[in-house]
Chains A and B, each alone.
Chain A
Amino acid sequence: MNDPLKESMRASLEAARKKEYASLIEETKEPVPLAKNVLLAFVVGGAICLLGQVFYVLLTMAGLADKTCVTLSLLILIFLGSVLTGLGYYDRLGKIAGAGSIVPISGFANSVVAPALEWRTEGIVAGLAAKLFTLAGPVIVFGVTGSALLGLIKYIWLALTGGAL
């Protein structure tokens, strides 16, 4: 039969050991190279944005309407992100740049194309199409919800302050 006192002693010993281990794994964890990561994210992220700007300027010089230029430069970045994912380079870029290549719109393209490639083996419908937004889905959900919420807040604010809707 189990002695309840012994059992409780064993349990507290176990808890102490786990606590000790938790601090051991924290102490021995290599620090994340934060400065390096931030710098690389800034440089690569900045470079992608600069590239977008270059496309935009070139398109305006071609005499296209401003709105069209914005849309087209975004489309070019999405295209480049997708192609580089397909060719197997975007994951290598992401490994170096982190948020620098995730946050720009080319990173969004990567997060759509990567699952598409991965689940193609399970078929076009049940694989590729079904899994297409497994990673980008949350961005869309919260993006749309966030926009709707902000719109609502703006609407209420203007209604209260008597501004033009």
Chain B
Amino acid sequence: MNGRATFHFQIPVYFGGGAAVAGPKEGQGPMGPFFDLIYDSLQSAEDSWEKTETAMQRDALAKLLEKAALTDGSVDLLLGGDLINQLTVTNFAAVERDIPFLGLYNACATMAEGLLLASSLIGAGFIADAAVVASSHNATSERQFRFPTELGNQRPSWSQWTVTAAGAALLTNRPGPVRLISGTVGRVVDYGVKDANDMGAAMAPAAADTILRHLRAEKASPADYDLILTGDLGRRGRRLLLALLEKELADVDERFQDCGVWMFKENQDVYAGGSGAGCSASVWSGYLPRAMIRGQYRRVLLVGTGALLSAVSVGQGASIPAIAHAVELRTEGKEAR
């Protein structure tokens, strides 16, 4: 049962390039040097937050294709999503491209879901190239899930800061330095967390579940990996994940890292860290592949984490279900380039 829904991609799937676009605050963080484009305002040249987020996705996709020297016609499939109702942002970015499109929603696990699906389709031989995109924007999320951005309210230290960023990655069957080996589809897990500010706590059990299932299916232990990188658990969620995993595994240590923790410096006033679909999407498309090609990490497990809440479910007092999908990456060859 534990091997269920762990896919090994039969035809080799490779990372064919990535592009990341971020907002001003993210640009000042540790990931800043790895973004292709940094917006100097949350609302730049567009007349709404949502249009700005769409512009970020559009720019990320354009950069991706430009860097990979591809045209719309040579990409078989576009997969992507965001956090805004009915995938508003992604739909309006996709309309400008002439690529068949699958819209995805798994909250902040959307990038992982996209990578997993694209790899499966390439790995099964249905397509050769796929672009995966995901984004989030602090202000579009604030006003949809919480309060108007200018409201003078207080938030607890365990809440998280929605990242303004878009990340786009190209997956392909043409050989490259980084290969996607396998992936595990997550289960929706609900441990009864009701505090919509405490998303790290809501998502940690889902991440633990998927990591355990993936490791069992791969007959691996954390020590076999150089990095196990969760999407947006934040400092609190990461601590809770480690506490959950320590009961089941050895080597639960610094190899477990989180994009939400990586995104901002300690002094950037983001509470427990970054969150949002653009958080993992931009780190996985911007920083991570470069670090792998540099040889910093050889075997990596990406674990996208999503809190599946909505303004409606929170309003009705429901607990927060969560999901996590895992994708395993390795650098090709004995020697890292």
Contact = CB atoms under 8 A, between A and B. Distances in A.
B239 A28 contact: yes
Nearest to B153: A94
A90 B150 contact: yes
B205 interface: yes
Given A21-B205, A28-B239, A118-B143, A110 B150 contact: yes
A101 B152 contact: yes
A93 B152 contact: yes
Interface stretch (B54-62, B128-136, B190-198): B190-198
Interface in A1-50: 17-18, 21-22, 24-25, 28-30, 32, 37
Nearest to B201: A25
A44 to B, nearest CB: 10
Contacts of A30: 157-158
A37 B152 contact: no
A1 B295 CA distance: 49
Q: Which of B50, B157, B191 has the most CB of A within 10 A?
A: B191
B266 to A, nearest CB: 15
Interface size class of B (residues with CB under 8 A): 20 to 34
Contacts of B50: 121
Give the dominant DSSP class at B's interface: loop
Interface size class of A (residues with CB under 8 A): 35 or more
B149 interface: yes
Interface string B180-223: 00000000000111000010010001000000000000000000
A110 B158 contact: no
A82 to B, nearest CB: 10
Interface string A113-126: 11101110100000
Contact of B47 (A21, A101, A121): A121
Interface in A90-106: 90-95, 97-98, 101-102
Given A21-B191, A121-B48, A114 B156 contact: no
B52 to A, nearest CB: 11
B191 A22 contact: yes
Contacts of A73: none
B240 A110 contact: no
Interface in B146-198: 147-158, 191-193, 198
Contacts of A102: 152-153
A91 B139 CA distance: 13
Contacts of A115: 148, 151
B325 interface: no
Q: Which of B49, B143, B239 has the most CB of A within 10 A?
A: B143
A29 B157 CA distance: 9
A156 interface: no
A24 B157 contact: no
A121 B151 CA distance: 17
A25 B240 contact: yes
A135 B147 CA distance: 9
A85 B149 CA distance: 10
Given A22-B191, A22-B192, A114-B147, A28 B240 contact: yes
Given A18-B191, A21-B205, A121-B47, A85 B150 contact: yes
B152 A117 contact: no
A107 B244 CA distance: 42
Given A18-B192, A22-B192, A121-B48, A114 B154 contact: no
A135 B150 CA distance: 12
B243 interface: yes
Interface in B212-262: 236, 239-240, 243-244
Contacts of A86: 150
Interface of B: 47-50, 143, 147-158, 191-193, 198, 201, 205, 236, 239-240, 243-244
Interface of A: 17-18, 21-22, 24-25, 28-30, 32, 37, 85-86, 88, 90-95, 97-98, 101-102, 107, 110-111, 113-115, 117-119, 121, 135
30 contacts: A17-B191, A18-B192, A24-B243, A25-B193, A28-B239, A29-B198, A30-B157, A30-B158, A85-B150, A88-B150, A91-B149, A91-B152, A95-B153, A95-B154, A95-B155, A98-B154, A101-B152, A102-B152, A107-B152, A111-B151, A113-B150, A114-B147, A114-B148, A114-B149, A114-B152, A117-B150, A118-B148, A121-B48, A135-B148, A135-B151
